[in-house]
Structure 1
Amino acid sequence: MYLYVKALHVFAVVAFIGGMLAMALALRVAIAAPRNMDGGRFGETILRWGGFVTTPALAVVWMSGFTMAFGAGWESSPWLLLKMIPVVLLTGLHSLQATALRRLLREGKMVGPLFRAAPVAILVTFACIAWLAVTKPF
């Protein structure tokens, strides 16, 4: 059963990270050319994708992750506790990205310049998570 849950977890992670990177791209476009994003179909499409794919994938990531952790007896492992920090950061960034894009499209509020760093932050954070999950260093 563990391998099935792990496969589901990996699939959901790929869908989630892909959705986060798409959202980051939409925000980068909004920062570069704000007039083109205002009410744009691209941004709306990304928000719909987020609602139908990215956010449910995040829920599956959390549920399958906890299922694996408790099923394998890792709930108190230092590597897993450390891994939770970047996982929570990615979860929060997902929420911030969606809120920023939604506000831009619905209310015309400009996107903060810190979102320019979102793609790099997503990839670096994901690399840390993957390294901790695969190597289980301690």
Structure 2
Amino acid sequence: MYLYVKAIHVFAVIVFIAGMLTTAFALRAVATVPQDVSARRLGGIVLQWDGLVTTPALAVVWVAGFTMAFGAGWSSSLWLLLKLVPAAFLTGLHTLQGIALKRQLRAGQSTALLRWLPLAIILTFATIDWLAVTKPF
């Protein structure tokens, strides 16, 4: 059973990270050319995708992750507790991305931090991946 849950978890993580990176790049596209109709359409499509695919994938990531952690007896492992910090950061960042994209599409508001989103997502995911694969503590 563990391998099935792990496969679901890994697949959901891939979908979630891909969705977050897509949203990050859509934020940059809309910020670069805010009056462009195609950029605004892209932003709307990405918001729909986020609601239909990325957000449910995030829920599956958390449920499958906790299922694996408790099923394998890792609930008190230090590596897992440390992994929760960047995982919670990505969850919060996902929420902030959605809010920022809605604001950009509605009012044209943008922030300079948006250009760092892809790097932040990749580095955070790499940290989570390292902790999950190596289980150093």
Which category describes the TM-score, using the shorter chain as reference length?
over 0.9
Does residue 110 of structure 2 align to residue 108 of structure 1?
Answer: no
User: For residue 8 of structure 1, what is the aligned residue in structure 2?
Assistant: 8
* Runs of 4 or more consecutive aligned structure 1 residues displaced over 3 Å after TM superposition: none
8 Å Cα contact 2:31-2:104 kept in structure 1: no
Aligned residues: 137
Query: Distance between the aligned counterparts of 2:64 and 2:82, measured in 1?
Result: 18
User: For residue 123 of structure 1, what is the aligned residue in structure 2?
Assistant: 122
In the superposition, the TM-score normalised over structure 2's length comes to 0.96
Provide the identity percentage.
Answer: 61
Alpha-carbon distance, 1:87 to partner? 0.2
Alpha-carbon distance, 1:36 to partner? 1.9
Alpha-carbon distance, 1:38 to partner? 8.9
In the superposition, the TM-score normalised over structure 1's length comes to 0.95
RMSD: 1.4
More moved, 93-102 vs 25-34 = 25-34
Alpha-carbon distance, 1:42 to partner? 0.4
Query: Distance between the aligned counterparts of 1:16 and 1:37, measured in 2?
Result: 27
SS of residue matched to 2:83: helix
Query: Distance between the aligned counterparts of 1:46 and 1:88, measured in 2?
Result: 22
Kindly provide the amino acid, as one letter, of the partner of residue 123 in structure 1.
I
Kindly provide the amino acid, as one letter, of the partner of residue 125 in structure 1.
T
Query: Distance between the aligned counterparts of 1:37 and 1:124, measured in 2?
Result: 32
Q: Deviations over 1:33-57 (max 9, x none)?
A: 2222698210010000000100000
Kindly provide the amino acid, as one letter, of the partner of residue 129 in structure 1.
I
CA, structure 1 residues 102+83, in 2 after alignment: closer, same or farther (shift >3 Å)?
Answer: same
